Structure formats: structure tokens, C-alpha cells
Amino acid sequence: MEECVVQFTEYLKNNKGSTKNTILSYERDLKNFKKFLSQTNSTKLQNINVTNVRSYLLFLEKKGRAPSTISRNLASLRSFFRFLYKEGLIYEDPTVDVAAPKIKKKLPEILTMEEVELLLAQPDNKELKGIRDRAMLEVLYATGIRVSELISLQTNQVHMTLGYLQCSYMGKERVIPLGSKAIEALEKYIEEVRSIMIRDSQERALFVNCSGTPMSRQGFWKIVKTYAQQAAIQKPITPHMLRHSFAAHLVENGADLQSVQEMLGHSDISTTQVYAKLQKNKIKEVYNKAHPRA
């Protein structure tokens, strides 16, 4: 089996272009599978059958492994045995009829409106950096755009007089309204800060760092983390949580899912429906807390 694993990893590297981390993950999963098989004396490839695979998944479940971990292990085994079958090294693929465990999708964690207000109030509006940070946070929450879209914004994509911005993701462009608070923060940043921060007058990036170059994803993540700590918000805040909060608060206040889908840039409305589920959960929570016989 070891020799076949080596052939498989070479295939991943040379034919599939898999990354080093991906290959290491496959190797780790296959090593653990082989260790399990050695306890049952079934390490010979031709003797491995569907029962062995199912027994291994059950073993992982009893060990307390998460459904996502079990699914990943099965995916590794499937790729391995599919490769062996195509190469003619085995006559049957033992993973064909094995079903992956169902993974319960977690609802996204969001900030309350009060927590959003608290976070947005943290940047010091008397300092250059604080004015920029406030503008970035306001735009992110006002539009629900992705962090990659935020840091990629160009100056010509913001139309404050008309109150909207344009952004592009995966070749698809969309137009999103800007709220009055975001416009106000953007105007202050552009008029008072950006021209001081940039080093090159030809720079088109809307948001720049203190070196005058485009803000990076890591740089903005640190900004969010710093202000979350200042605000003493206990939730593990990430920039993407503001995107989730934007959508959830829109739905909570009566926005229809199709409009939210368009603003978020979701290709499938089923992705957007998670925010409706969040609203249903909140209603149930309110009921359980408020109803005398709940």
C-alpha cells in the first residue's frame, strides 16, 4: 500500500498540481487508514472492500471526530482508490457506495445592531488613521461587500453624489447603495486624509495604508481585530462578520431576499436564505423569553 500512496502523491503533484499542504493532508489520512487496517489484517489492496471503509468511518465517529473530518477522510480515500482503479491496480473501488455523513450547516454568527454601533464608534475621528478606518468600516457595513472587494475599490467606483458604489467579483459587476453615514465618513476620508497618505498621485486605490500603497487584507483584518478589542466585544469578530451582519439586519428590517441577494452578489438565492433562518431563530428566541408559557 505504501508504494501506491507514493504513486498517488506523485500523481497529485505532477498531474493535478496539488499544493504541498493538500498532499500532506492526503498522506496523513491514508496513513491513519492504513494504521486502522493493520489492526484487522486487511492491508492488502485487493482485499480492501466497502465494509473496511465503512468500519473505518464508524471508528472515526466513535473516536469523536467531527462529521466534517470524517467527510474529508472519505474524500481522501475516494481520490486514492479512484486513482488506483484508473491505473488498473485494483478491480473495484471500495468507496463507490459509501455515503458521507451529513454535515449540519452552522448559521453565521452576527453582531447585534448595538455591537455594530459600538465597533464603528471606536476609530478616532481626529486622527488620519482613525478617519480612514472609520470610512472602511462604515462602507463595509453599509454595503456588505467582501473584504477583497473593499480593498480593491478604485476611486472612480464610488459615486457619492448619487449615493452608490460599483464593485466587481469573479468578473461580475454590481451596484450597491451607500448609506448617509458611509457617505459622510468617505467624504471626510477623501477630502482630509487620502491625499496626505498616498505617495503617488496616480494611485487609484480608494483605501491605502500608512505607506501610501493599497490596503491589504491582512492589514484590514488587524484593524478590525484592534477595534473589536477596544470595544470589548466578546464575539470573535472578523471582517466577514460585518458582511453577515449587514445582510441579517436588512432581512430583520423587512428587506426582501432577492434584493439582499443582488447586493451581496450571491449567484444562488439559497445562499442568501440563511439570513431568513437567522431571523426565524431570533423570533423563536424572543418568544421563548417573553411568553409566560413558553
The mean predicted confidence, pLDDT, of the chain is 89
Return the number of other C-beta atoms located less than 10 Å from residue 46's C-beta. Answer: 9
Contact 163, 183 (CB under 8 A): yes
Domains in the chain and their CATH numbers? Answer: 2-86 (1.10.150.130), 113-289 (1.10.443.10)
* Tens-digit pLDDT profile for residues 49-72: 999 999 999 999 999 988 889 999
> 108 falls in which pLDDT band (50, 70, 90)?
confident
On the question of pLDDT at 263 being above 80, the answer is: yes
Average pLDDT over residues 108-130: 94
Rg (CA), the chain: 25
Contact 75, 30 (CB under 8 A): no
Contact 184, 178 (CB under 8 A): no
pLDDT of residue 293: 52
* Tens-digit pLDDT profile for residues 36-48: 988 876 667 878 8
- Give percent above pLDDT 70 in the chain: 93
On the question of pLDDT at 249 being above 70, the answer is: yes
Would the pTM count as exceeding 0.75?
Answer: no
pLDDT: is 125 or 280 the higher one?
125
Cα–Cα dist 286/288, whole Å: 6
User: How many Å from the N-terminal Cα to the C-terminal Cα in the chain?
Assistant: 58
Task: Please state the separation of Cα 198 from the chain's center in Å.
Answer: 30
Tell which residue, 115, 125, 138, 116, has the closest CA to residue 207.
138
> 285 falls in which pLDDT band (50, 70, 90)?
low
